[in-house]
Structure 1
Amino acid sequence: MGKRLILGRVLRFEASPFVQEPETSATLINGGGVLIEGGLISEVGDGAALRRKHPDADVDDTGGSLISAGFVDAHAHYPQTAMIASWGKRLIDWLESYTFPEEMRFDASEYARDIAERWLDLITANGTTSAATYCTSHPQSVDAVFEAARARGMRLFAGKTCMDRNAPKALCDTAQRAYDESRDLLLRWHGEGRLSYVITPRFSPTSTPEQLDALGTLWAEHPECLMQTHLSEQTDEIAWVRALFPNARDYLDTYESHGLLGGRGLYGHAIHLEPRERDRLHEFGAGLVHCPTSNTFIGSGLFDMGGLKSAGHHVGLATDTGGGSSFSMLRTMAATYEIGQLSGRALHPAELWWLATAGSAEVLHVGDKIGNIIPGMEADLIALDLASTPAISQRATRAVSFWEEVFPTIMMGDDRAIRQVWIGGEKV
């Protein structure tokens, strides 16, 4: 693999815009360049100077495109790709009516491979270069998505979804099977290239205490792995959890008491948190994952981005497809802004972009590898057209600052804004 030089307007973050003033948290290099060697970013700076310094490099000149780190989706369900945008249900009915019937189809390896390839095509077309996904309870669903990601050189996080109650028999395993199959998949895939296994209880209502114990034991045996699950998504879900776990202090306690609360835990949604839950999640440094299009589509509620970030919580951003209604992280950023407005906290464009790149990477504990354009990091990059449609173009031309120019693409952009994608330094 030789040298590759990407030329354009290069955006990189110097600090989190939630910690530093948003306007000064990032650097824009007009006429910039990113030199890639061996799949890693080796130099960043003035494009013309880098071109003179490395005349042997293959050049991708994007003109005036914005060069950014690729988007990082911290919570998705790839098996729900084909049933995205299913009408008219709240969470529990939606699972029973749409999700579980679709996930039963993944007992066929060929179907799992087809959907895995389709999902990766769709997210890549939208500028997502890394993602964390739930699979189904079938081990072959994990193999399918890891095999597809490995062939593309993608950094991917995935795990077998474990359930032993309150789901169709065809999707249920047992406490022992959940442990055994998850362990086998972990040993087979974790650390294979850019792949990471994630221990994955779907959520407390579909796991018995015995299964949660088994998965807590597995996590204790492999603390290097992430653990992903759902937490406090809807009020009727929380009431269900209280009925199933009458001795639990709150929803989070159904995980905490079984060894499933930790700094490498990913807790999707986290909308209706009790004060104790907030305190414990912050104490452990756990990752919260905001899924805004899902929260509005299924009618779950408004995530408290302002309050949680001001308290120092780690937050990532996610499509949550197919409960989420878009494969695009641009649309996800737009929904994050809209929910922030409804909650009284208008997020700055820099904060939105950081959440979709460096913020999600940090929640996945790979902030030193992806999510920013810094020498030594993996070369997962995208080139964006900030005038991809007539409506966006006419607004962007009136911008008096860089972030004002970016904001119309955040609010109105889609896959047409993604001009080019590089994964591990290779053009997609």
Structure 2
Amino acid sequence: MEPFVNATLGRYLCVGLPIDIDEPAGASAANNGRRAPWLPQALADLWAEQAASVYRTYLRYAGPGDIFVRSIGEHFIDAEAYLATTGADSRDLACELARIVFAETGIPIEVGVGDNLFLAKVARDRASQSSSKVALLDAASFRRDYWLHRPIADLWGFGPETARRLEQLGIYDLAGVAGESEEALYREFGAEAEFLIDHAWGMEPCTLRQVLRCKAAGSSVSKATLMPSRCTGYQMERIICGMTRELCEDLALDGLAATSVTLHLGYPAVCGPAGPHGRYSDDPAERIAAASARASERTRALPSYVCESRCFARPIATAEPIAAAVNRLYEKANVAGLEPWRVSVTLRDLVPSSTPSRSEPMLRLLEERVARRGSHVARNHAGRGRQFVLLPAYRGYSDMVAKIALDEEAA
């Protein structure tokens, strides 16, 4: 068990599932120890089922308004009301929760208890290394156990990039962060320095209820893709146009319109051993040639990321004006001589469209075509039972059409 700290102060619980979810029996043996292509999705479905069963257990101790689902395998619980009603302390609640979940689901959850959300998260990380799978932290024990811990990147919220920037200031642990002047930290990290200073002292002013009350300022949809090598400018424009039209189809089906559009182009790092097309090359001759070319252009600043946006005069849901706007953004954002390796299109600030949703007309059209048993649905009697293939494929409706066809066949 973890050393006892003041268990009556920990109102927040950070509860998490173990990462190593069991694989289906025989999955590894059937693939010579290698993970099959379908296995990640199978594990995700299994994890979702287990997380749902565990969440139902949490509801016995707190209402939905006191539980924040941070991820599929991690939840924050505000147990203040339960502790005040039952008179129990935080350690008893954590141990009881872990015992009941394991007895009913067979899942050994990890429970971290803290005075605030940050301490609860750090305690949960400690619980994963504890035999009891339960850990408690308050501000005093946090400073005692973590102030001199190195490397600082091991702590939650302090990543490798943050650790590197702190090392430039001569800071290697939380004690150094707490002892550094706030002016120097704000000068280096900007607004992020506030989080670093608070977390170094084991403080987190944000409460769970404030997190639950937080609402997004707007909504958006996006689509991104990695570009193939040696892609011509015309091919690039066609790919971006296709991505934009797919997003517009989603808007039309949901009855939404976009107020603005953003195009992101990601370029490869120019300092790496890249080939003539900006990608890593195993050919020594190409790497030498690329290095020579970069040496001659050292004074030229080449971007690694370009973002361009445009706002519309009114919300738009049709594909033609949005695709035209994205093409103009691409012409403006594209860097001559470089090929983007990642492209993403985002339609922002979505609002209800004045144009009626296309969901119902499209659904009726597909139902009529399936009822006529036209050439759009082909039966394939191969292998294990009957399968249906759409010829052409109406994106997002293949499963629906197959279900309609199966229902008609049963009738």
Tell me if both proteins adopt one fold, taking TM over 0.5 as the criterion. Answer: no
| TM, length-normalised to structure 2 | 0.25
RCO higher in structure (CA 8 A, sep ≥6): 1
| TM, length-normalised to structure 1 | 0.24
Decide which structure has greater strand share: 1
